[in-house]
Amino acid sequence: MLKVENLQAFYGKSHVLHGISFTLQPGEIVALLGRNGSGRSTTAKAIMGLVDCTGDIVWKGQQLAGLRSFEVAHAGIGYVPENRDIFPTLSVHQNLLLGQKRSGKPSQWSFEDMYKMFPRLRERQHTEAGVLSGGEQQMLTLCRTLMGDPDLIIIDEPTEGLAPKIVEQVGEFLGTLKARGVSVLLIEQKLTIAMAISDRVLVMGHGRLVFEGSPDDLRADANTRQEWLEV
């Protein structure tokens, strides 16, 4: 479904990604792990057309490299950025409404689906998004992206700074995506949730992939965990 080959990315003259290559299959959850500064978020931004890059990013046979972000989104890829990017003066319901595409194709996701996954959003649906708590804003960002009916969602640090109960709800959200056949590229610091929900794990270090395998493979590889993940 998604095939990334020899991805190089740059911020001005700074060379950040050095030949990243991986695949992601339909309905698969792949965790992209690594310390801060390893290149994980840059990988997501490169796929979404948000940073200068070279290499191949092929989605369902279509070359995405060189496309603008809205064109990547219309191709069926959703993106949940680390900074959430909600519309603060609009209500929760209005934010969700803006997530819908006008393609004429019926979406598999409804407002009721969103409110069922995160009941707190139902309670706050007429509240301006800017006054929501951090956890509520994260719920909203996840759901707004899902309202666009993507086949793949790239999610950057969805549990950062959240209370344990909200982290648990985010984990259930990811499980729902998997059950409904949505592919996920999950950038995550918390190994527990990443290892529990993922089919495969990629580990990055210094702009390169240093490990690829199953969660069990990573659990068995103490050297990789110690060198590239553990503090």
pLDDT at 103: 63
Q: pLDDT per residue over 166-186, tens digit each?
A: 888 998 999 999 899 999 999
pLDDT at 104: 63
Give bridge partners of residue 143 from the DSSP assignment: none
pLDDT at 160: 87
Whether the Cβ atoms of residue 146 and residue 114 lie closer than 8 Å to each other: yes
Whether the Cβ atoms of residue 163 and residue 138 lie closer than 8 Å to each other: no
Which residue segments constitute the domains of the chain, with CATH numbers given?
Answer: 2-228 (3.40.50.300)
The percent of residues above 90 in pLDDT, for the chain, comes to: 82
Specify the pairing of strand 62-63 against strand 52-59.
Answer: antiparallel
Sign (positive or negative) of CA dihedral 82, 183, 175, 93: positive
- Alpha-carbon distances of 202 from 14, 59, 91, 150, 210, rounded to whole Å: 23, 19, 37, 22, 8
169/198 Cα distance (integer angstroms): 16
What is the rounded average pLDDT of the residues 11-36?
95
What is the rounded average pLDDT of the residues 197-225?
96
12/174 Cα distance (integer angstroms): 35
Whether the Cβ atoms of residue 73 and residue 148 lie closer than 8 Å to each other: yes
pLDDT at 102: 67
Whether the Cβ atoms of residue 95 and residue 146 lie closer than 8 Å to each other: no
Specify the pairing of strand 200-205 against strand 29-33.
Answer: parallel
- Alpha-carbon distances of 45 from 59, 65, 155, rounded to whole Å: 15, 11, 11
Whether the Cβ atoms of residue 144 and residue 114 lie closer than 8 Å to each other: no
Q: pLDDT per residue over 42-98, tens digit each?
A: 999 999 999 999 999 999 999 999 999 999 999 999 999 988 889 999 999 999 999
pLDDT at 18: 97
